[in-house]
Every structure is written in C-alpha cells, then in structure tokens.
C-alpha cells in the first residue's frame, strides 16, 4: 500500500470524551489520506468491479455548545475506487461554509439538533429548523459524474470530485438553486433519464417543494406541495412517471414549536399521507393516499404495476419508543436511533390510482433499514434489497441482509462482535446480465483489530461472506449513507493512468 497524509485537522474534542457517538466505533478522524494499491487481507479484488464506492460520515471536530447529537458531525467522505483489479482510498472533510468558519474559530458556532437554537454563537445558518450548521454530512449521490453531499435538515449541495473527495464548490444549477430553502438529503437520480428529483421542507408554508433537475443540470420543474404544517420528511421515491412525497405523522409538537422548542412527536391519531405526482406535474395533479400511521426514514424503491403505484420502504412499528429504563443514560437518550427500538421493517404500500385505495403489507419480519438496490432498476420493478441489521440499542450496523422480494428468502451475514459496517451499495459487475449480477461494497469499523476494512461481497451470495477484504490506512468512524458510481459514468476514469492521477492528486 502506498500511503500519504494529505491533511490534518485540529480537533478540540476533550481527551476524556465519554460521548458514545464520539468515541469507540464513532471516534472521529482528523487525518485525510491518500492510499493507492490497498493491501488485500483476504480474497481477491474482482477485475470486473469498476467504479467508486462513496460514503459520507458524521465526523465532528469540536465539542457541541451543550449537547452533541450524532447527526451534527461534520461531513467526511470516504472513497474506495476499483479498477483493473486494484483499489485506492481517499477521505476528505466536506469544505462547508460551516466547517471553514468553525475551523477558524476552533469551536462550534451553531446549535445542534439536540440543542435550543438560542445557544448558537452565530445569528445565521441553514436548515428547515433554521440557524443550524449545514454539515453536508448525511448522504452522498452522484449526478452527471459529480458527487453531491447533502444535509438532512436541508442545505446546500456540495460538489465533490468522486475520485478524490475534494470539494469543488456548491451546486448552483446554473443560478437556479433554491438557496433560501436548500435541498433535503436523498435527492434521487434516474439513470434512465439523467434527471435528479429532489424535495425541500421548512417551517414556512407551503412546507414542502418538489423539483426536477435535468441531464443538463437545469432546474426544469419546482412546485409547491402544500402540507397542513411543518413536517420532517427524510426521503422520497419515484417511478417511471411519478414522484412520491410524504406527510407522515412524526413532526414537531406545535405547542412547543410556538415557544421556540423543536420537540418531535409521533401523532398516533393521524394517518400517514403519500403524495403521488406526475414527475412534471402541478399542484392540481397531486393524488393523496392515506395509510397506517408510521414514520419512514428510508424508502428503497417504487414502480408502477398496472393502475398501482407500488412503494417499498421501512415501516416503523414504534416511531417514538418510550424510555423503558433499559441501558445506560446514553442508550436511553439515543433510543430513537436504534433500529430495534423503532421496529423498522421492510414494507410495501400499493396506491391504486384508479380507485384511490391503499393496500399495505409487511415484506419481512426481520428488523432492517438502510436498504440499497441495483440502481439501474430504480423506479422499475425489481427483486432484491440489500439492507442493514442494527446492533440492538445502538446506531450501529452489525450485519447485512439480502431480501429476495419474489420468494421472501433472506440471506444474512453478520459482521461479528465488535465490527460495524456502513450502508452497503450494490455495484453491477462490468458486463452484468441480471439485477443480482454484481458486488456489494461496505466499509467496516473493526474494534477488535482497531482497523477499518473495505468488504466486497458477491451480491447473489451474501451469506458466504466477503470475496475480498482490503485494509484502509486507519480505523474510520462508523457512518451510514453511501453510493456506487460505475467507472463508465465518471469523467476521466479511463483517460488517466490511474483514477487517482486524474486530478493530479
């Protein structure tokens, strides 16, 4: 392995930090690395694996003003690239305006999600809640060959080089970016059309917008989706002809909100509402469907089946788990992050466009979330979901499940005690001949070895374990959202001697 330190950031976190989401598997990194020719610990790097795996991470540099929440951390993107049977690694902080300001001040300047806004030391900010730091630490996608990082509370889209993770600047959509509202995490790219579909939300009416950016990076559609009040949507889905937005009954308590406090409540007496809108539809084209109350953090996919729009995602049996007295103070405080406490399970909604009826059913008894699929099938009928299992009581992924939606079969792999993975992206094999013909890629935080690895699985044989295990330069923090970009869709990938040389880095 050929390693070089590209940069180091100064952390002001205390040496005796006891916050479980800033220590142990969540210990943040301060070093940015270049590593070429990654060492193969076991197996072999498949020669028909070609492209980059990108993963965002909440990686804080400074103590919060009062209370840290793991969604507050600064964005750091990890890249593992594969070409010609070799692999390289890069990691970089996302150079957000917030990171730049806090690096200069050497302290946190904005209030996090678990803090009252008035503790902030700055009077500006971002986010649906307003006055927050846009850490761009939630998700990462690739549109038109450029990686874009996002923030769950809505903010800028930061443009990153997908090989080096270097920040290139903010996305402007040729001047049309909705800067006041920003964009939520989980914009969706349709590989078939080159379009990117997105939403944003805020505390002001109409509370939600939906938009489309075309293959030329122009904002070609942007409509109001009026809601009864402020909501907290986190994800959306699309089919070949429709986009699906949501109004779910987990949102800020109105009484507390009137007094400036952002307290999330599950309103068990309200239905879940789903908006089905033609992809270039107007307000009057929206069809609303009502379903059982729940909260859905992530959808996997949607598609059309005759008159039905079918939507798959993770239904939460208990979106507001009570404090049951189990575990230490931290586990109780962060019980909302544990998949077992939320009772998250794969679920299917069927919206009949002809009758307006809704049918819904669980697709699995197993608790999973963070479902990924072969992205070439997004918006179309599909068969396989690759999802994460969670360590009970914690926001940590302890294994991987391949759900076969046709047979109901589940193929499970456990990372083992003390080993945690990230969202596992599906990489179609070069020359792939079927939906399941490819690899799954994830990054682990291995507390037993005090190391991190990149694991590659055969997507059709998850239970067999990784076909390849590569060592990263150091143990990285646990993290969640990821994506895969084929080499073929990345500019310069095949025009430089090595992908990492493409930018001279």
Q: Which positions make up the binding site?
A: 186, 234, 298, 481
Tally the residues of the chain.
505
- Neighbouring-strand partners of residue 224: 209
Residue 436, phi-psi category: left (phi > 0), alpha (psi -120 to 50), beta (remainder): alpha
d(CA 144, CA 314): 29
Residue with tokens 């986010």: 127
Rounded to a whole number, what is the largest CA-CA distance in the chain? Answer: 62
Residue with tokens 């001047």: 175
| DSSP-based helix, strand, coil % in the chain, nearest 5 | 10, 40, 50
Dihedral sign, Cα of residue 267, residue 270, residue 271, residue 274? negative
Backbone phi, psi, residue 98, to 5°? -65, -45
Q: How many helices (H) and strands (E) does the chain have?
A: 4, 34
Dihedral sign, Cα of residue 496, residue 498, residue 503, residue 504? negative
Beta strands in 127-241 (DSSP E): 139-143, 146-150, 158-160, 167-170, 188-190, 195-201, 208-213, 219-224, 237-238
Dihedral sign, Cα of residue 465, residue 371, residue 376, residue 149? negative
d(CA 401, CA 371): 9
Binding residues for Fe cation: 186, 234, 298, 481
Is 392 in contact with 380 (CB distance < 8 Å)? no
Q: Got the DSSP string for 279-310?
A: TT--GGG-EEEEE-S---S-EEEEEEETTEEE
**Whether residue 120 has a cis bond before it, omega within 30° of 0:** no
d(CA 42, CA 11): 34
The DSSP secondary-structure symbol of 477 reads P
d(CA 360, CA 97): 43
d(CA 94, CA 480): 16
248-257 core/surface letters (b: 16 or more CB in 10 A; e: else)? bbbbbeeeeb
- The CA angle 119-124-129, to the nearest 5 degrees, is 70
């Amino acid at each position: 392995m050929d390693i070089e330190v590209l940069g180091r950031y100064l952390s002001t976190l205390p040496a005796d930090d006891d916050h479980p989401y800033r220590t142990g598997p969540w210990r943040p990194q301060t070093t940015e690395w270049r590593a070429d020719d990654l060492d193969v610990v076991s197996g072999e790097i498949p020669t028909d694996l070609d492209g980059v795996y990108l993963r965002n991470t909440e990686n804080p540099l400074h103590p919060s003003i009062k209370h840290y929440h793991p969604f507050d951390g600064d964005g750091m993107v990890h890249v593992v690239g594969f070409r010609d049977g070799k692999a390289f690694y890069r990691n970089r902080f996302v150079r957000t305006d917030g990171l730049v300001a806090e690096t200069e001040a050497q302290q946190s300047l904005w209030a996090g999600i678990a803090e009252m806004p008035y503790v902030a030391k700055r009077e500006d900010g971002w986010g649906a809640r307003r006055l927050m730091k846009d850490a761009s630490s939630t998700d990462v996608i690739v549109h038109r060959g450029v990686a874009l990082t996002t923030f769950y509370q809505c903010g800028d889209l930061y443009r990153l080089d997908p090989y080096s993770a270097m920040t290139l600047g903010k996305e402007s959509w040729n001047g049309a970016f909705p800067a006041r509202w920003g964009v939520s995490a989980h914009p969706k790219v349709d590989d078939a059309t080159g379009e990117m579909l997105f939403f944003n939300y805020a505390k002001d009416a109409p509370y939600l917008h939906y938009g489309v950016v075309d293959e030329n990076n122009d904002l070609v559609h942007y409509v109001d989706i009026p809601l009864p009040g402020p909501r907290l949507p986190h994800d959306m889905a699309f089919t070949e002809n429709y986009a699906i937005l949501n109004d779910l009954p987990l949102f800020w308590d109105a009484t507390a909100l009137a007094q400036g406090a952002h307290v999330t409540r599950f309103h068990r007496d309200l239905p879940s509402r789903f908006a089905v809108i033609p992809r270039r539809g107007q307000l009057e084209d929206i069809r609303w469907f009502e379903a059982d109350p729940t909260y859905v953090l992530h959808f996997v996919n949607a598609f059309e089946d005759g008159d039905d729009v079918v939507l798959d995602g993770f239904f939460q049996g208990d979106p507001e788990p009570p404090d049951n007295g189990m575990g230490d103070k931290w586990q109780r405080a962060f019980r909302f992050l544990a998949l077992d406490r939320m009772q998250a399970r794969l679920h299917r909604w069927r919206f009949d466009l002809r009758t307006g009826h809704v049918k819904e059913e669980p697709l699995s008894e197993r608790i999973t979330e963070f479902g990924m699929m072969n992205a070439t099938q997004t918006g179309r009928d599909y068969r396989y979901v690759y999802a994460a299992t969670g360590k009970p009581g914690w926001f940590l992924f302890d294994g991987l499940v391949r759900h076969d939606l046709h047979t109901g079969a589940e193929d499970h792999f456990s990372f083992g005690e003390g080993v945690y993975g990230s969202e596992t992206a599906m990489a179609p094999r070069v020359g792939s001949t079927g939906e399941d013909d490819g690899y799954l890629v994830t990054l682990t935080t291995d507390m037993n070895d005090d190391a991190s690895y990149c694991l590659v699985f055969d997507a059709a044989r998850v239970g067999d374990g990784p076909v390849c295990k590569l060592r990263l330069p150091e143990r990285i923090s646990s993290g969640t959202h990821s994506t895969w970009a084929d080499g073929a869709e990345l500019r310069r990938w095949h025009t430089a001697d090595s992908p990492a040389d493409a930018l001279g880095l």
